[in-house]
Amino acid sequence: MFLRVAALVSLLSVVHTLPEKTLLDGSAQPCADSREATSGVPGVHVYAFNAKKIPAIRKSLFVLDTLEWESGDPAAMRAAAVEYDRLLSLVRGARTLGYATSNGNGDFEIMVPQIDSVLVFGEARMPGEPFYYSAKVVGATGQEEVRVVLLMCNQQLL
């Protein structure tokens, strides 16, 4: 009996395929108000995370979204700078599903396992801009490809 079970288990392990993957076909785009730009944003560092496994990153993004630093309030700007540095530290220390850098047209591709929620986070250093990032949560189950557009203006010009 043990040999039959062992043979069945070994047969199933050979037949069992790896989990399917989903292609995140993305583009980092400049702000819609930036009419002089005709292509995407090159050099954006794009990370893909299992959204359920990174609560600290999600919390940091929420904090940045709630701070009203765009008005020029020095205290809010300092708090946002501290939180953004914290966010980047969390991003660089977290386990990713994949990583890419946008090409000269702003395009990127990342293969991820098929999971319910993928947090796609993009950041870049732009001269004269305190924060230049974008994040979006997408589903990656049951699809071969998911289109992701990161608007790299939501923290730049507001």
Strand partners, 109: 25
Residues 33 and 120: their CA atoms lie apart, in Å, by 23
Give the pLDDT confidence of 12-60 residue by residue, as tens digits. Answer: 554 445 458 999 999 999 876 545 555 788 999 999 999 999 999 999 9
- Which helix (H) or strand (E) segment holds residue 107: the answer is strand 107-113
pTM higher than 0.75: yes
Asked if the structure places residue 115 within a domain, the reply is yes
CATH number for the domain that contains residue 112: 2.60.40.10
Q: How many domains does one find in the chain?
A: 1
Output the CA–CA distances (angstroms, integers) from residue 11 to 4, 5, 7, 53, in the order listed: 10, 10, 6, 33
Give the mean model confidence (pLDDT) for residues 65-81: 83
Could you tell me if residue 97 is inside a domain?
Answer: yes
Within a domain: 11: no
Domain that residue 125 falls in: 18-151
The stretches of 16-140 forming alpha helices (DSSP H) are 55-66, 74-93
Task: Tell me, yes or no, whether 92 lies in a domain.
Answer: yes
2 lies in some domain: no
Helix (H) or strand (E) holding 4: helix 2-15
